[in-house]
């Protein structure tokens, strides 16, 4: 483990933004949720109605788990945030491990570091120390946030233990996955799939009384059984700690016995010749397709769950005027509660579609930094594709085309999930053509947000972060603009405020044309800048 201290300091420097943000997400979300729920459930009667209504719904039990205590806003906020935020923490911890174990190996940085006086296990141990420290900090801050919103001190400690246990389990899973595959993106995807599967298995165990034993098959189920508002026992957390210890030990054993840069599963070398003419679009789809699929499948699954709630939304809201008013305001003031819910969900999914499109630009930046773009632009191609394939501008246009298709598919699949879910339960939702029209109507403003990332890439790869800033700003000023009380002139800058999701109301023509033209102009500015800079 020689050199572990040096590598840990290096990891702390490279993670100086990502790790603090990941650590602060859950405590901040818990505080914000408690503040938002306080006016919705101001008295014991409204909280009791929540416990007897929404908390008993199977879909809510899958997503959030059982509501153990409804006596205080703090307890309700922990339930509302708890397990879903716990899943987010596990993915963040897995990403932290992968960024510091597999990613440096995949790019050759670990080989460079290991050429110095650095031990075989030092890179792995430094990454584990960093991720473990992040998990501990997340648990402590989450416990402090729980105490700040009125949760009793002892209970708040066990809330922190829950999140710490889940984070440690995720670290144990991720370090093993990073030894199995060779690509960092694939490693993170596999870790996320394992953790999401654990979340779903735990949810089924919570929703079906006869299948409660399933929670013992899931690391998130182990963390849930710490039960801060019930039995308060730390014994299930020991199972997460054991998974962490076994995972780290197994990963260290594998790392010591394999070649640097390889994995237990070796990637297929592929065919010696291309099965079709090499083109920017074909290469973009083949290299980015697997990482974009989760955006689409996630949108469908999420909206399917929302669709399953459409037949019981009135009963779930009950007499809580604050909750009803919140949903209707987020949905544009619609008098139809189901319609307002669907409008709200489509508005949020449209932001996710913009994030998926921005992630395509992130792939372009990664290809530039790792030299893959130079290989593509120097590759011999067929005469038909030669004119397009050798042009950096054409490469960006191909990525823009892929981003457009992905954003549209995210929205269409979200609409399909809403329609299918509502049909399965016989809910009173709008018709399929109305939902499809509203979903497709969100494509132009979504692409206008993503255009900022493409324009930023044109000026330099380091400016791609502006695309993510645009996504967050559009979320706050668009779907959440009325909730946070943003002034009208500021909201008018957000594309999704100009073209909000309105099922059955028709797409506003003039704003749609304006944001479409704006998207084209912004991308054009990026292409102009791209032609005047070096690729790297």
Q: Is residue 109 part of a domain?
A: yes
Element (H or E) spanning 219, and its range?
A: helix 219-224
Flag whether 505 is in a domain.
Answer: yes
Q: Does residue 379 contact residue 419 with C-beta atoms inside 8 Å?
A: no
Q: Which of 477, 471, 501 is nearest to 489 (CA)?
A: 477
**Widest CA span in the chain:** 74
- String of DSSP letters for 368-399: HHHTHHHHHHTS---HHHHHHHT-HHHHHHHH
Clarify whether residues 307 and 241 are in a common domain.
Answer: no
- Domain closes at, from 197, 225, 257: 257
Distance in angstroms (rounded) separating the CA atoms of residues 496 and 443: 10
Q: Per the domain annotation, does 263 fall within a domain?
A: no
- Whose structure tokens read 């735990």? 202
Distance between CA atoms of residues 339 and 504, nearest Å: 9
Q: Coil, strand, or helix at residue 421? A: helix
- Residue 136: alpha-carbon gap to chain centroid: 22
Residues 166-212 pLDDT 10s:
999 999 999 999 999 888 878 888 999 899 999 989 988 888 878 88
pLDDT at 388: 45
Q: Could you tell me if residue 266 is inside a domain?
A: no
My answer on whether 316 and 219 are in the same domain is: no
Q: Which of 201, 195, 223 is nearest to 213 (CA)?
A: 201
The tokens of 224 are what? 């849930």
Cα–Cα distance, 297 to 365 (Å, whole number): 24
For residue 80, what are the domain limits? 1-257
Q: What CA–CA distance (Å, rounded) separates 368 from 526?
A: 16
DSSP state of 297: H
Last residue of a domain, one of 198, 230, 257: 257
Task: Show which of 257, 280, 297 is a domain's final residue.
Answer: 257
Would you say residue 7 lies in a domain?
Answer: yes
432 and 359 fall within a common domain? yes
Structure tokens at 74: 């703090």
Measuring CA to CA, which residue among 251, 227, 225, 250 is closest to residue 239? 225
Question: Do 313 and 222 have their domain in common?
Answer: no
Number of domains in the chain: 2
- Contact between residue 171 and residue 131 where contact means Cβ atoms under 8 Å apart: yes
Is the domain of 389 the same as that of 530?
yes
Q: Closest Cα partner for 220 from 75, 97, 89, 87?
A: 87
Whether residues 181 and 293 fall in one domain = no
196 contacts: CB under 8 Å, gap ≥ 6: 87
In this prediction, residue 147 carries a pLDDT of 93
Query: For residue 210, what is the DSSP state?
Result: G
Instruction: Report the phi/psi class of residue 333: left, alpha or beta, with left for phi > 0 and alpha for psi in -120 to 50.
Output: left
Count CB atoms within 10 A of the CB of residue 327: 18
Alpha carbon 108 to chain centroid, angstroms: 27
* DSSP code for 57: S
Same domain, 466 and 370: yes
Task: Give alpha helix (H) positions in 371-487.
Answer: 372-377, 383-389, 392-425, 432-441, 443-459, 465-477, 481-484
Q: Which of 364, 359, 353 is nearest to 296 (CA)?
A: 353
Same-domain pairing of 359 and 211: no
pLDDT recorded at residue 317: 54
> Same structural domain for residues 372 and 413?
yes
Q: Is 111 left (phi over 0), alpha (psi -120 to 50) or beta?
A: alpha
305 and 193 housed in the same domain:
no
Residue 61 lies in a domain: yes
Do 51 and 67 touch, CB atoms closer than 8 A? yes
Round the CA-based radius of gyration of the chain to a whole number and report it.
24
DSSP for 101-168?
A: THHHHHHTHHHHHHTSS--TTHHHHHHHHHHHHHHHHHHHHHHHHHHHTT--HHHHHHHHHHHHHHHH
Task: Give the residue among 34, 132, 149, 148 at the shortest CA–CA distance from 89.
Answer: 132
DSSP H/E element including 269: none
- Residues 388 and 478 occupy one common structural domain: yes
Contacts of 102 (CB under 8 A, 6+ apart): 178, 181, 182, 183, 184, 187
Cα gap 395→203, rounded to integer Å: 43
CB atoms within 10 A of CB 498: 20
In a domain, 264, yes or no: no
- Give, to the nearest 10 degrees, the angle between helix 392-425 and helix 337-370: 150
Query: 83-93, pLDDT tens digit by residue?
Result: 888 999 999 99
Is the CA virtual torsion 80, 83, 86, 90 positive or negative?
Answer: negative
Residue 265 lies in a domain: no
| pLDDT mean for each 10 residues of the chain (536 residues) | 89 87 88 81 78 70 81 86 88 93 86 86 92 95 92 93 95 94 85 90 84 89 91 91 95 88 75 67 76 85 82 56 53 61 85 90 80 71 46 81 91 90 77 87 92 90 86 83 71 85 81 91 89 74
* CA 40 from centre of chain: 27
167 plus 95 within the same structural domain: yes
Q: Are 145 and 27 in contact (CB under 8 A)?
A: yes
How would you label 357-391 residue by residue, b for 16+ Cβ within 10 Å and e otherwise? bbbbbbbbbbbbeeeebeebeeeebeeebeebbbe
């Amino acid at each position: 483990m020689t050199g572990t201290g040096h590598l840990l300091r290096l990891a702390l420097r490279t993670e100086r933004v990502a790790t603090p943000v990941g650590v602060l997400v859950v405590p901040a979300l818990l505080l914000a949720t408690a503040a938002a729920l306080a006016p919705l459930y101001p008295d014991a009667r409204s909280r009791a109605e929540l416990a007897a209504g929404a908390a008993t719904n199977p879909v809510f039990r899958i997503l959030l788990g059982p509501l153990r205590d409804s006596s205080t806003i703090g307890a309700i906020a922990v339930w509302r945030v708890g397990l879903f935020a716990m899943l987010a923490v596990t993915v963040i911890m897995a990403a932290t491990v992968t960024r510091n174990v597999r990613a440096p190996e995949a790019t050759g940085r670990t080989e460079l570091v290991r050429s110095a006086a650095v031990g075989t296990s030092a890179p792995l141990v430094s990454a584990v120390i960093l991720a473990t420290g992040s998990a501990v900090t997340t648990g402590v801050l989450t416990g402090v946030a729980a105490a700040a919103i009125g949760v009793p001190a002892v209970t708040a400690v066990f809330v922190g233990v829950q999140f710490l246990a889940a984070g440690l389990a995720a670290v144990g899973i991720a370090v093993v996955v990073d030894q199995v595959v060779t690509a960092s993106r694939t490693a993170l995807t596999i870790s996320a799939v394992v953790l999401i599967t654990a979340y779903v298995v735990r949810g089924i165990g919570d929703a079906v009384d006869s299948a409660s034993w399933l929670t013992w098959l899931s690391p998130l189920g182990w963390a849930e059984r710490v039960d801060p508002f019930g039995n308060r026992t730390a014994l299930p957390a020991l199972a997460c700690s054991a998974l962490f210890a076994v995972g780290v030990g197994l990963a260290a054993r594998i790392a010591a016995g394999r070649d640097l840069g390889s994995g237990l599963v070796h990637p297929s070398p592929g065919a010696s010749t291309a099965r079709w003419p090499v083109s920017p679009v074909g290469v973009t789809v083949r290299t980015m397709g697997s990482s974009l699929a989760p955006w689409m499948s996630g949108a469908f699954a999420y909206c399917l769950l929302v669709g399953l709630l459409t037949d019981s939304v009135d009963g779930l809201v009950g007499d809580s005027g604050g909750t009803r008013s919140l949903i209707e305001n987020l949905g544009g003031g619609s008098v139809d509660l189901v319609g307002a819910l669907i409008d709200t969900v489509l508005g949020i999914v449209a932001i996710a579609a913009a994030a998926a499109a921005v992630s395509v630009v992130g792939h372009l930046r990664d290809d530039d930094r790792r030299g893959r773009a130079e290989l593509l632009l120097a590759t011999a191609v067929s005469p038909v594709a030669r004119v397009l394939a050798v042009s950096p501008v054409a490469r960006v246009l191909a990525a823009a085309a892929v981003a457009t298709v992905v954003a549209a598919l995210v929205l269409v699949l979200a609409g399909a999930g809403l329609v299918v879910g509502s049909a399965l339960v016989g809910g009173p939702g709008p018709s399929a053509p109305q939902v499809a029209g509203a979903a497709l109507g969100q494509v132009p403003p979504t692409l206008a947000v993503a255009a900022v990332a493409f324009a930023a890439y044109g000026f330099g790869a380091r400016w791609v972060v502006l695309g993510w800033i645009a996504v967050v700003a559009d979320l706050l000023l668009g779907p959440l603009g009325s909730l946070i009380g943003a002034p009208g002139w500021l909201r008018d800058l957000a594309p999704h405020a100009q073209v909000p999701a309105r099922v059955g109301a028709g797409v506003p023509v003039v704003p749609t044309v304006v944001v479409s033209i704006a998207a084209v102009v912004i991308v054009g500015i990026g292409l102009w800048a791209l032609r005047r800079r070096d690729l790297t």
